[in-house]
Amino acid sequence: MKAVDVQTLGCYINGEWTVPDEAKLIEVKNPGDGSVLAYVPRGDKEEIDQAVQAAKTAFLSKEWKELTPYARGQLLNQIAEIIRENKEELARLETLDVGKPLGQSAVDVEIAARYFEYYAGIADKIFGETIPVEPGIIDYTVREPIGVVGHIIPWNYPLQIAARSIAVSIATGNAMVLKPAEDTPLTTLKLAQLMETLGLPKGLLNVVTGYGYEAGAALSSHPDINHITFTGSVETGKRVMESAAKNIVPVTLELGGKSPNIVFADCNEEQALEWVRKSIIQNAGQTCSAGSRLVIDKSIKEDFVSKLVEAMEKLTIGPGMDNPDLGPVLSQKQFERIQEFIDLAKQDGITIATGGERKLIEGCENGYYLKPTIFDNVAADHHLAQEEIFGPVLTVTTFETEEEAIAIANGTPYGLVAGIWTENVGRAHRVANQLQCGQVFINHYGAGGGIAQPFGGYKKSGFGREKGLEALKSYTQLKNVALKYY
């Protein structure tokens, strides 16, 4: 597979691939070795407007309006099939683009296919309700497509998130414009190329590459967009919401987290150790739902952290194509940001139980590799335990009572995910009931991609829900009809 196959595609607008002149191209780099993988167009307001108008035309077309929900479901199943037929190429592209281990990319490809299958089964089951009002009136609701949906895709799971965005949009009868992250656009473009063979109405799916402050800003502020879905940082999320508000456009925001694994003394230690480790090293910790805080019973902390350090130091680190345990972080910018947090820990005298150093890989000296890092005995209110680092970096904070554990877990500006580790069922439910977050996992962390599980946050982690049936609410609008029959 050659990245040049994607280099020549450009933006996908109204069923055509367009490439501006060379002065408007963006380098896409391999984080594993710093080499240039591809060049993609630096789309801006003009390309976004073309894409939105194409989507609007497609949405209003007779061809799309008359396609039955059942037929939309069949189309989604075809997309799932074509993803699996091209699974090796998609996984390689995702690894080259993002840096994650090839095995993790292969899982991402399967999850992408499952999104399409899941929403294929839902397309003809989006129901309304009848409402008893008074004799002589039949009152009912229908859920209708919301229109043209804008999706701003993050760089850490581009294939997965593009897939869930496209799948739910088609299932609910919408048209769409996707703006992938400028760092990792390759699998989104490849997915559009694969879908092109299935005969979608022109303009139904559009992909515009470019920078967030240009193409992303133009998309979120466009007056003909009917809904915006954004996954990314809090600060960018604020700007997206402000832009959309000027046009009275609803938004779904997923803005990251500082998620705790709360480990009680009566936990299954072997399972807890495995998942605490996995939840912070997946995709080099560049995951909004990463278990980036270990909140642990003081009585077992020393032994648990000692074993965790041992496990971390056994991990293999290297280029994603070699399928190690841990690949590189995305970019120099991301690496330097993580390094600032490490420097802060050293400055404040916080114990670094392991890691905190760059890992040099022979032949990949320009790659951005970091040893998995554990900051021990971090105060709950310290900056390191409050802010999203977005790397393979874990903070350790102890508690002595259940109430203290809950207070620490809730004591950040975020509220996305939490893990609870205990064999006491009553405690598990008590704690889950009091956690201020959108998802709680008890004695595990994550579940097979979570396709059916509503995903979103409390507080600064955002609002609205992706995944599962709950996502349908964001992509449809409710109409009430009342008929008087005598």
pLDDT in tens, 10-22: 899 999 999 876 6
pLDDT computed for residue 26 by the predictor: 93
Walk across the sheet containing 439-442 and list its strands. Answer: 351-354, 373-376, 393-399, 293-297, 260-263, 417-421, 439-442
Q: What residues are labeled active site?
A: 254
Provide the 3-class DSSP secondary structure of residue 127: coil
Is 486 contained in some domain? Answer: no
**CATH code of the domain in which 279 resides:** 3.40.309.10
- Whether 466 and 163 have beta carbons less than 8 Å apart is answered as no
Question: 27 and 149: one domain?
Answer: yes
Domain count, the chain: 2
Residue 294 has pLDDT above 70, yes or no: yes
Is 459 contained in some domain? Answer: no
> From CA 255, how far away is CA 320, in angstroms rounded?
26
Is 225 contained in some domain? Answer: yes
**269-284 confidence digits (pLDDT tens):** 999 999 999 999 999 9
Is 313 contained in some domain? Answer: yes
Question: 135 and 273: one domain?
Answer: no
Is 143 contained in some domain? Answer: yes
Provide the 3-class DSSP secondary structure of residue 322: helix
* Mean pLDDT for the chain overall: 95
Question: The domain containing residue 248 runs over which residues?
Answer: 4-255+465-481
Task: pLDDT band for 23, please (50, 70, 90 cuts).
Answer: low
> From CA 280, how far away is CA 446, in angstroms rounded?
12
Residue 448 has pLDDT above 60, yes or no: no
Average pLDDT over residues 118-139: 97
Residue 444 has pLDDT above 60, yes or no: yes
> From CA 276, how far away is CA 77, in angstroms rounded?
35
Question: 218 and 284: one domain?
Answer: no
Average pLDDT over residues 7-32: 86
Question: 322 and 384: one domain?
Answer: yes
Question: 24 and 81: one domain?
Answer: yes
In the chain, the percentage of residues whose pLDDT exceeds 90 is: 95
Average pLDDT over residues 165-191: 97
Question: 244 and 277: one domain?
Answer: no
Is 336 contained in some domain? Answer: yes
pLDDT computed for residue 19 by the predictor: 85
Total-model pTM:
0.95
First-last CA distance in the chain? 68
pLDDT computed for residue 8 by the predictor: 59
Is 456 contained in some domain? Answer: no
**208-264 confidence digits (pLDDT tens):** 999 999 999 999 999 999 999 999 999 999 999 999 999 999 999 999 899 999 999
Question: 470 and 438: one domain?
Answer: no
Question: 215 and 342: one domain?
Answer: no
**337-355 confidence digits (pLDDT tens):** 999 999 999 999 999 999 9
Question: 28 and 124: one domain?
Answer: yes
**72-85 confidence digits (pLDDT tens):** 999 999 999 999 99
Task: pLDDT band for 158, please (50, 70, 90 cuts).
Answer: very high
Is 455 contained in some domain? Answer: no
Task: pLDDT band for 5, please (50, 70, 90 cuts).
Answer: very low
**CATH code of the domain in which 20 resides:** 3.40.605.10
Question: 216 and 275: one domain?
Answer: no
Q: What amino acid is encoded at 29 in this protein?
A: K
Residue 21 or residue 124, greater confidence: 124
Task: pLDDT band for 447, please (50, 70, 90 cuts).
Answer: low
Question: 41 and 154: one domain?
Answer: yes
Question: 280 and 386: one domain?
Answer: yes
Residue 449 has pLDDT above 90, yes or no: no
Q: Which of 239, 237, 260 is nearest to 464 (CA)?
A: 237
